Structure 1
Amino acid sequence: MAPRWKGKGSEAKALADPMSKIVLELQSSLTQSEAHALLSGCSALLAVEAEQTDLLNRACLGRPIVTAEKDKQWFQLGMEEAFYLSHSLKCLRIVGEDNCPINNEELWQYMNSKKRTFPLFYKAYSHLRERNWVVRSGSQYGVDFVAYRHHPSLVHAEYAVLVLSEGDDDANGRLRVWSDFHCTIRLCGSVAKTLLVLNISKNGQGTVSPSCLEHYAVEERTIMRWNPEQCREDQTISENVIKTVSSLQW
């Protein structure tokens, strides 16, 4: 399925301002300002200046919060977003309510206590982000994430993402029976998205510390519903089967 750009010139804008460049600029800006975010429940609150507000919006990280403050903009970062900026990009410090810094080991334990599937979801999130996909919550589509080729203002989401892991009941509650599988495929088709299943293999590693992420492996599989309209006498049988692709072209 080809990208569905929003309006004339959207693709050119995306090519002129690649996501990799935006994220590098954000990383540099947050590092130089020694930015820190306050851990609050299942999110982190980050106060930034005008330049960083623009970069966070362009990178599609966090959600702006409307406040009465004129000189600062607050952003609410999700768990995966906060840990990605802190652990992977190393450009954000996380502090607790007492304003004391929380290291990555402590933050990892905290995230795990709030969300049992956090290690798997974070591995999937960082896997896509490192390949310059914009990743947002997929709850409105009944999936874990949706992945955009660039900013959502320029292009529609291309993939609906499910995160699975062998032997993990928390992550494997979906697609166990044919009816679930069929409903998911139908839903993805109705919103013009391809179902992307990311199967996370822990390779015998636990979830004690973030170092386990280095040993996790990600298997990518896209699944598309067979379209009976494609079934014609002048086409070969190979064109009329459900397509299952084991890897993506990034």
Structure 2
Amino acid sequence: MELSGSRWKGKGFADIAAENPMSEIVRKLKYFLTQSKETAMLSGCVSLLEAKTELADLLNRSCFGRQITTSEKANHWFQLSSEETFYMLHDLQSLTIINQTESPLSELELWNYMKVNKERFPELYMAYAHLRRKNWVVRTGAQYGADFVAYRHHPALVHSDYAVVVLQEGDGIVQKNGRLRAWSDLQCSLRVSGSVAKTLLVLFVNRNGSDGAFPSCLQHFSVEERTITRWVAEQCREDE
């Protein structure tokens, strides 16, 4: 994935990002969560995390969760997506997830819960984790007709580079969401992403024969990245 050409929102913002690498911010978040033994409660396919000021600052800086406005001044509440919830438990190993009876869930229990409640969860999670491990900031792409959008750094500093569509790949696989199966759908996706100055990034997730029954199956998954752009004839003509 090409890093050049990011659209920074202000002068000097690229330098600010370089001085504060996202990997270091996430490392600080992981350390804080591990030391404070925080818990988040499942609510449907998302989880709710109560955070005091220091944790709220780290969550905002690392771009995990969506802050919810409440009347409480001392504490803040964050809503974590299903992918963020599992990432903090599985990849960062720094957050305890509890159910409505306040019983902690194991990785396997949370994995099975997410799969039951979100059919495409294994592929979506693998794509999310793939980008996060490369230090991209990953947010929902629903407003652009995509699964995710990927930012080079914090959204306050830079516009997102990619609109991300996740597809399952493999022998005998039938796409569960039917995305990009027709040229008209591909053209629409390209036009939407192009109109908001984003590159369409398609992540093909292949289970490589794994049934996805356990979280450990993720190590057998592979991700192939493909960027798709429109060919503009006027840009390719010789000068007349």
Does the pair score TM above 0.5? yes
Match of 1:165, SS?
Answer: strand
Q: Work out whether 1:169 is the aligned partner of 2:172.
A: no
> What stretches of structure 1 of length at least 5 have no aligned partner?
236-250
Match of 2:74 in 1: 71
Match of 2:110 in 1: 107
**CA distance in 2: counterparts of 1:125 and 1:231, whole angstroms:** 35
Contact 2:204 2:223 in 1 (8 A): yes
Match of 2:234 in 1: 229
Letter in structure 1 aligned against 2:59: L
Q: Work out whether 1:9 is the aligned partner of 2:12.
A: yes
Q: Work out whether 1:97 is the aligned partner of 2:113.
A: no
Q: Work out whether 1:49 is the aligned partner of 2:52.
A: yes
**CA distance in 1: counterparts of 2:8 and 2:187, whole angstroms:** 27
Letter in structure 2 aligned against 1:52: L
Q: How does 1:1-250 map to 2 (within 5 A)?
A: 2-166=5-169, 167-171=173-177, 173-233=178-238
**CA distance in 2: counterparts of 1:182 and 1:76, whole angstroms:** 33
**CA distance in 1: counterparts of 2:95 and 2:88, whole angstroms:** 6
TM-score by length of 1: 0.91
TM-score by length of 2: 0.95
Letter in structure 1 aligned against 2:56: T
Contact 2:167 2:175 in 1 (8 A): no
Alpha-carbon shift at residue 234 of structure 1 (Å): 5.0
Letter in structure 2 aligned against 1:103: S
Alpha-carbon shift at residue 121 of structure 1 (Å): 0.1
**CA distance in 2: counterparts of 1:153 and 1:69, whole angstroms:** 25
Alpha-carbon shift at residue 228 of structure 1 (Å): 2.3
Aligned length: 234
**CA distance in 2: counterparts of 1:64 and 1:183, whole angstroms:** 32
**CA distance in 2: counterparts of 1:65 and 1:192, whole angstroms:** 29
Q: CA RMSD in A?
A: 1.2
**CA-to-aligned-CA distance 1:219-248 (integer Å, 9 cap, x gap):** 00011111223122159xxxxxxxxxxxxx
**CA distance in 2: counterparts of 1:130 and 1:217, whole angstroms:** 14
> Share of identical aligned residues, percent?
56
**CA distance in 2: counterparts of 1:26 and 1:195, whole angstroms:** 30
**CA-to-aligned-CA distance 1:135-175 (integer Å, 9 cap, x gap):** 0000100010000000001000000100001214314x111
Alpha-carbon shift at residue 177 of structure 1 (Å): 1.0
